[in-house]
Amino acid sequence: MVDQIKVALAQMSCKVGDKAHNMRTMATYIMEAKKQKADVILFPELSVTGYVTKDRTYELAETIPGPSTKKIEKLAEENHIHVIHGMIEKNAKAKGVVHNTAVLTSPDGVIGCYRKMYLPTHSIFEEKRYFRQGYETPVFDTAIGKIGIIICYDIFFPETARLLRLKGAELIACISASPSVRRNYFEILTAARALENTAYVAYVNLVGIEDGLQFWGGSRIIAPNGRIIAQAKYDEEDLILGTIDYTDIPRTQTFVPALRDLRPELFNELGDLSKKL
């Protein structure tokens, strides 16, 4: 278990539906991140395809393992780096079923996946029209720490990050495709998730315009005390790096003892009331 790691956030723009182009962009970022001695690099939600894929979602989906994860595995191995990226996953058992998935890859290959649990289907979002929601919140015990992943809208539900934290995650990676009109929400929520869980949060967002929808970027790494360690530009491509120090977590927990003060009996009540809403 390492004490410190260097995290890179690749705030990229995508060409919708052009996987080869997007993969080339990702390869460039991986190589640059490695040059800057990053241990892990994060890419935005659905970074392989772009976010607004609409009916093309099905043709762009791939199984895991599949062509895209194989390319990422090769890049991770060659550059000796961990990679978290987003893609449309084709369900191996039911091929007409697709998921909005994040994949964690180590230099030794794919470690695991996270399927987005909360699929926004309101305003301009239509994810439930296409994707099947995920049901699992895995925490990956890796050479670079205990990592949990959430995707974009999941961050509105504190229980996902809390669940990851209680399973031992010390770094919560949130990959996102958040449009400009929601910037304020994400700036608040990313800090809140870090602080209330006394965990590191690495948030990486898309940039560029897809279907008239502008993504704002603003990727950031936040410390367990809410401090912003690194902050990317708004509205343009960027690569930022920040060092996270896991040994700071216990210290912060004495000052922000949110986990010590958890009240389990409230969770039961929350469950009951949620059903009755």
Partner 1 sequence: MLLTPSILKIDQEETKQRITGFIKDYVAKTKTKGIVLGMSGGVDSSTNAALAALSIGGNKVHGLLMFEKETRNKLDIDHALQVAKQFKIRAVFIDITNLLNAIYKSIPDFIESDFKAKGNIKARARMLLLYYYANSKNLIVSASSDKSETMIGYYTKHGDMAADIAPQQDLYKTQVRQLAKHISVPDAIIEKPSTPALWPDQTAEQEIGMPYEKLDLILYGLEHFMETPQIAEQLLVPIKMVESIKKHWLETEHKRRIPLSPKLGFRTVGRDFRLPYDAEVE
Q: Pull the structure tokens for residue 41.
A: 């690099």
Task: Please list every residue from 245 through 264 that binds partner 1, using CB under 8 A.
Answer: none
The region of 24-32, 112-120, 206-214, 247-255 touching partner 1 under the rule CB under 8 A is 206-214
Residue span binding partner 1 (CB under 8 A) among the ranges 151-159, 208-216, 222-230, 250-258: 208-216
**Closest residue by Cα to residue 21 from 211, 208, 218:** 208
Residue 196 annotated as catalytic: no
Least Å from the CB of residue 273 to partner 1 = 25
The answer for residues whose C-beta is within 8 angstroms of residue 153's C-beta and 6 or more apart is 116, 118, 119, 120, 125, 127
By CB under 8 A, name the one of 214, 225, 243, 253 that touches partner 1. Answer: 214
Q: Does 15 interact with partner 1 (rule: CB under 8 A)?
A: yes
Nearest distance in Å: CB 113, partner 1: 24
90 part of the interface to partner 1, by CB under 8 A: no
Burial class (CB in 10 A: 0-12, 13-18, 19+), 202: buried
The verdict on 235 binding partner 1 (CB under 8 A) reads yes
Q: Is 182 an interacting residue with respect to partner 1 (CB under 8 A)?
A: no
Alpha-carbon span 4 to 11, nearest angstrom = 22
Q: How far is the CB of 236 from partner 1 (least distance, A)?
A: 10
* Residue 233 touches partner 1, criterion: CB under 8 A: no
Give the length of the chain: 277
Q: Which of 188, 211, 269, 271 binds partner 1 (CB under 8 A)?
A: 211
CA distances from 99 to 22, 94, 208, 215, 272 (A): 19, 11, 23, 21, 28
**Binder of partner 1 out of 6, 56, 71, 132 (CB under 8 A):** 56
Instruction: Mention every residue, 6+ apart, whose C-beta is less than 8 A from residue 141.
Output: 168
Residue identified by tokens 């367990």 is 224
Place of tokens 């977590």: 249
Candidate list 34, 73, 90, 152, residue with the active-site label: 152
Give SS3 for 46: coil
Concerning whether 159 is annotated as a catalytic residue, the answer is no
Beta bridge partners of 268: none
Scan residues 140-169 and list those touching partner 1 (CB under 8 A).
Answer: none
- Of the residues 19, 34, 90, 116, which is catalytic? 116
Considering 14, 19, 45, 127, which one is annotated as catalytic? 45
Does 54 help bind partner 1 (rule: CB under 8 A)?
Answer: yes
CB atoms within 10 A of CB 111: 19
**Interface with partner 1 by CB under 8 A: which residues?**
15-21, 50, 52-56, 126, 180, 208-212, 214, 235
Active-site positions read: 45, 116, 152
